[in-house]
């Protein structure tokens, strides 16, 4: 395996791994490990270039630092990307080679599911590394995090609807779910169960048909999802759906979905605030999956513990929404500030402890 550290300012460790025999080309990006070993999923995508994959790994791993901090789990931020097409290129050899790459970091980074990586894939990685989580082991641990993520997002949608629309329930509210995959479909089910009226979009026509059939959803094209006449827009596909081109087409007053990096550029945070659109910061609302994985790694996973932690996501969002309104500052900026405070506090504590040990 060819291993090369990629120097990136502000990131703890970014490593490029290549194993030609196994077809592996991957980056593991560890942004920060102040709170504990880095933890975050592995994404398999046919990136157009090395630079595109590196940017994704960097952005996502930084997001994990913030997500884990506000999710209340003792893990730093990390993420991995594999340059491959998950439908064609995924082989046991590739997954083993990636598992060996994870293992070579000696516990600095724990991997888990993300787009293109299933629970079975994690099982395969586990044959060569102990630092892979998100599998339903015999002890009844969490397993695939997607249903938990969906549950956390649903609770977050409720919190946002209360804060911005004064709605105590989602009944009869109109919600557009963009991307009805593992998380989006389960979110759609929960929303439907609560009586919300659904509009769905996906590039996968059969997933859309399933949502239309099962939940009485209206169908809209992915390009028009942002402009759907709804109260709440829930982006659950890939990132970047809120951008300079799309923002003026948005009709919803709330954005609350599972996708990572929903805002293509940081200035969208202020732009949404200026338009009086309440944005539930992505890494806060979608944290339940990694919280489940974190509890699994710590050996503390129980359904009850997870459910309590998921409820805390809405408490955190309530706090962010209240502060945003009181200070007239964008929700994303408030979330970043809260997360940085958690990390800074932990760094201060660690420094004080090491000084005390030396004294
Ligand atoms: P997934 O791959 O199962 O689902 C994504 C869905 O989006 C698919 O149905 C896909 O066809 C659709 N899609 C992709 N590009 C699209 C486009 N341009 N327009 C419309 N639809 C498109 O992934 P997932 O696990 O459901 O994750 C969804 C999002 O939530 C991702 O951004 C992921 O990073 C994020 N997320 C997931 C979890 C989790 O536990 N799975 C946790 C945190 C964040």
Complete domains list, the chain, with CATH? 2-68+75-132 (3.40.50.10860), 146-334 (3.40.50.720)
Contact 225, 215 (CB under 8 A): no
Q: What span, in angstroms and rounded, lies between the C-alpha atoms of 350 and 209? A: 52
Tell me the two tokens of residue 12.
């703890």
- Write out the catalytic residue numbers: 79
Residue 260 C-alpha to ligand 1 middle, in angstroms?
9
Residue 48 C-alpha to ligand 1 middle, in angstroms?
19
Closest CA to ligand 1's atom 31: 259
Task: Give φ, ψ of 100 to 5 degrees.
Answer: -65, -35
pLDDT tens string 138-190: 455 667 788 999 999 999 999 999 999 999 999 999 999 999 999 999 999 99
- pLDDT exceeds 70 at position 62: yes
pLDDT tens string 283-325: 999 999 999 999 999 999 999 999 999 999 999 999 999 999 9
Average pLDDT over residues 319-343: 97
Contact 250, 274 (CB under 8 A): no
- pLDDT exceeds 60 at position 203: yes
- pLDDT exceeds 60 at position 13: yes
Q: What pLDDT score was predicted for residue 135? A: 84
pTM value?
Answer: 0.91
Average pLDDT over residues 260-265: 93
Residue 236 C-alpha to ligand 1 middle, in angstroms?
5
Residue 238 C-alpha to ligand 1 middle, in angstroms?
6
The best mutation among 117, 122, 181 to test binding of ligand 1, ranked by most ligand atoms within 8 Å of the C-beta, falls on: 181
β-pairing verdict for 2-5 and 13-19: antiparallel
Q: How far is CA 213 from the centre of its chain?
A: 28
Instruction: Say what percent of the chain tops pLDDT 70.
Output: 98
pLDDT tens string 123-139: 999 999 999 998 876 45
Closest CA to ligand 1's atom 9: 181
Which residues does ligand 1 sit against, CB inside 6 Å? 114-115, 145-146, 149, 178-184, 201-204, 207, 222, 236-239, 258-260, 286, 289
Average pLDDT over residues 238-257: 96
Q: What pLDDT score was predicted for residue 197? A: 98
Average pLDDT over residues 92-106: 98
């Amino acid at each position: 395996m060819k291993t090369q550290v990629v120097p990136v300012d502000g990131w703890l460790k970014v490593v490029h791994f290549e194993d030609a025999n196994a077809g592996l080309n991957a980056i593991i990006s560890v942004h920060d490990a102040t709170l504990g070993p880095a933890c975050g999923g592995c994404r398999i995508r046919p990136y157009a270039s090395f630079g595109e994959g590196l940017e994704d790994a960097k952005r996502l791993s930084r997001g994990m630092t913030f997500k884990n901090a506000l999710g209340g789990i003792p893990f730093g931020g990390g993420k991995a990307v594999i340059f491959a097409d998950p439908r064609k290129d995924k082989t046991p050899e590739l997954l083993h080679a990636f598992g060996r790459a994870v293992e070579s970091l000696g516990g600095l980074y724990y991997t888990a599911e993300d787009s293109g990586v299933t629970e079975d894939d994690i099982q395969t990685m586990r044959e060569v590394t102990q630092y892979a989580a998100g599998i339903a082991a015999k002890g009844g641990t969490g397993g695939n995090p997607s249903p938990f993520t969906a549950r956390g997002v649903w609770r977050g949608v409720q919190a946002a609807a209360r804060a911005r629309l004064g709605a105590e329930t989602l009944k009869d509210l109109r919600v557009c779910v963009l991307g009805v995959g593992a998380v989006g479909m389960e979110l759609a089910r929960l929303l439907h169960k609560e009586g919300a009226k659904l509009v769905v979009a996906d590039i996968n026509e059969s997933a859309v048909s399933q949502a239309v059939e099962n939940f009485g959803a209206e169908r809209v094209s992915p390009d028009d999802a942002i402009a759907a006449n709804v109260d709440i827009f829930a982006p659950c596909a890939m990132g970047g759906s809120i951008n300079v081109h799309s923002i003026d087409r948005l009709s919803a007053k709330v954005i609350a979905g599972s996708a990572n990096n929903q805002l293509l550029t940081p200035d969208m945070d202020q732009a949404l605030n200026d338009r009086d659109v309440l944005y539930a910061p992505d890494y806060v609302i979608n944290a339940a999956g990694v919280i489940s994985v974190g509890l699994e790694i710590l050996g503390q996973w129980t359904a009850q513990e997870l459910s309590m932690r998921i409820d805390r996501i809405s408490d955190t969002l309530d706090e962010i929404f209240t502060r945003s309104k009181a200070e007239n500052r964008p929700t994303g900026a408030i979330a970043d500030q809260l997360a940085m405070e958690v990390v800074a506090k932990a760094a201060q504590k660690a420094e004080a402890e090491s000084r005390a040990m030396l004294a």
